[in-house]
Amino acid sequence: MELLDYLRFAVEAKASDLFIVAGGPVCVKLEKRMTPVGGERVFPQETERLIMALYQQAQRSPDRFLSRGDDDFSFSVGGLARFRVNTYRQRGSLAAVVRVVAFDIPSWEELSIPAQVMDLAEETHGMILVTGTAGSGKSTTQACVIDRINQTREAHIITLEDPIEYLHRDVKSIVSQREIAIDTEDYLSALRACLRQAPDVILLGEMRDQETIHTAMTAAETGHLLIATLHTKGAVNTIGRIVDTFPAAQQDQIRTQLSMVLRTVVSQQLLPGAGGDLVPAFEIMHTNSAIRSLIREGKVHQIDNAIAAGGRDEGMISMDQSILNLYKAGKITEETALNYADNPEQLRRRLG
C-alpha cells in the first residue's frame, strides 16, 4: 500500500493515530485499540519509504530528523484531513506516529466539553492551563476555546505550537499561528517576541522549562490572556509541577506570582465509554480567594477539598465528581469509573 492509502484508511475508519513501525503491520488506533491495516508486516526498507513519503507530503527536508533521531511536523492532504507527525528511530530503523486532525474545528457540544470550559473564552487576562496526559484531548479543547474567542471578540490571537494542528481562519479576530522550528526557533524566543506583537490572547503549546514558565507568567501578569498546556493530571499536580521547576530559593516568590495570575486549571482525560466510544472527564478549578491563599501558603494538597467546597456555585468540579456523573448518566461502566478515579475507594463508597 502507498502512504495515501494508509492515510485515507485512517481517516475513513475515524482512527486517532496511524503507526508505522518496522517488524509488524502498519496499525491504526481505534478507540484505544490497535487495528492492523492489511495483514502484511513492514520491514525497515518499507518504513523508510513510507516515512520519506511523509516528508514529501509535508514539503519538508528529513535532514533534521536524520541527524537528531526524531522530529515533529504537520501537513494537510486536500479533501482528506490534516495530520500531525512524529518521526523517530527505533532499533536502528525509521518509525512514525501520525495523528489524524480534522480540517474543521470540532463542535464543543459534540465533544462533550463543559460550558464552563467554553466560558473561559470571556476571560481577558491571566493564565488558563489545560492539562492532561498525552492523547487526552488538550489541543482540541484549546482549539475550541480559541475558536470561540475568534468568533466573538475582536482581538489579536497568537498561537505558538509544535506543530500546528488546527488551522484558524480570521473571523472577528486576527489569528497569527507560529510553528516552532519553522516560523521561530523555540517556545521561549517565540514567547518573548510575541510580547512585542500586540497580542490580546496567547496560546502556548507547552510550558517545557523554567524560563518559558516564568515568561508565560509575566505575560499573564501584564494584561494578556495566556492559555497554555502542561502534561500533568489534576490541578494539584499542575501547581506542584510549576513551583518545583524553580529552585527552592525562588519558590515562595513563584507561589505568590502564580496565585495572582492563575485563573483556571482544566484537567481532562478520555475514558472508555460503555458504548465503545471515548468519553471525556473534566476537572475544573477556578482560583477563588481560598485557593489563592492555599497556593501562596504552599498548601496545594488541600486544593481538592476547596474544589469540592466551591462546587457548582463557582463552576468547579473534581475529577472524581465528573467521573461519577458520567457513571450515573450511563456513559461509563462502574469498572471504568473506579479504574480512572483519583480516589477509587472513596468513589466506590459513593457508588454504593
Report the length, in residues, of the chain: 352
HEC assignment per residue over 30-86: ECCEEEECCCCCCCHHHHHHHHHHHHHHHCCCCHHHHHHCEEEEEEEECCCEEEEEE
- Quote the CA–CA distance of 106 and 123 in Å, as a whole number: 22
> Whole-model pTM?
0.84
**CATH code, domain with 62:** 3.30.450.90
Residue 277 confidence class, pLDDT cut points 50, 70, 90: confident
Distance CA 185, CA 183 (A): 7
106 belongs to a structural domain: no
Q: Residue 233 domain-assigned?
A: yes
Q: Give pLDDT, residue 47.
A: 97
284 found inside a domain: yes
Strand intervals (E) in the chain: 17-20, 27-30, 33-36, 70-77, 81-90, 93-101, 126-131, 156-161, 174-179, 201-204, 225-230, 262-272, 278-286
**36 occurs within a structural domain:** yes
Whether residue 179 sits in one domain with residue 54? no
Residue 110 in any domain: the answer is no
CA distance 33 to 157: 36
Q: How confident is the model at residue 197 (pLDDT cuts 50, 70, 90)?
A: very high
Tell me what the mean pLDDT of segment 239-252 comes to. 97
In the predicted model, what is the mean pLDDT of the chain? 94
Q: What is the pLDDT of residue 276?
A: 81
User: Are 73 and 83 within 8 A, CB to CB?
Assistant: no
CATH number at residue 219: 3.40.50.300
Give the pLDDT score at 11: 95
Chain-centre distance for alpha carbon 15:
18
Q: How far apart are CA 194 and CA 169, in angstroms?
A: 19
Mean pLDDT calculated for residue range 326-333: 96
Which segment of 70-74, 144-148, 225-229 scores lowest on mean pLDDT? 70-74
Q: What's the domain count of the chain?
A: 2
Among 68, 101, 134, residue at a domain's last position: 101
Same domain for 11 and 134, yes or no, is no
**Type of residue at 109:** E
Same domain, 346 and 256: yes
CA separation for the pair 100, 76 (Å, rounded): 10
Within 10 angstroms of residue 284's Cβ, the number of other Cβ atoms is 23
Condensed to tens digits (0 to 9), the pLDDT of residues 287-325 reads 999 999 999 999 999 999 999 887 778 899 999 999 999
Q: Which domain holds residue 33?
A: 3-101
Q: Mean of the pLDDT values across residues 204-213?
A: 92
User: Given the C-alpha cell 461519577, which residue does it identify?
Assistant: 324
What is residue 104's three-state secondary structure?
coil
> What are 30-74's pLDDT values in tens digits?
877 899 998 889 999 999 999 999 999 999 999 999 999 999 999
pLDDT attached to residue 342: 94
| Any domain includes 109 | no
Express as a percent the part of the chain with pLDDT over 70.
99
The reply to whether 127 and 231 lie within a common domain is yes
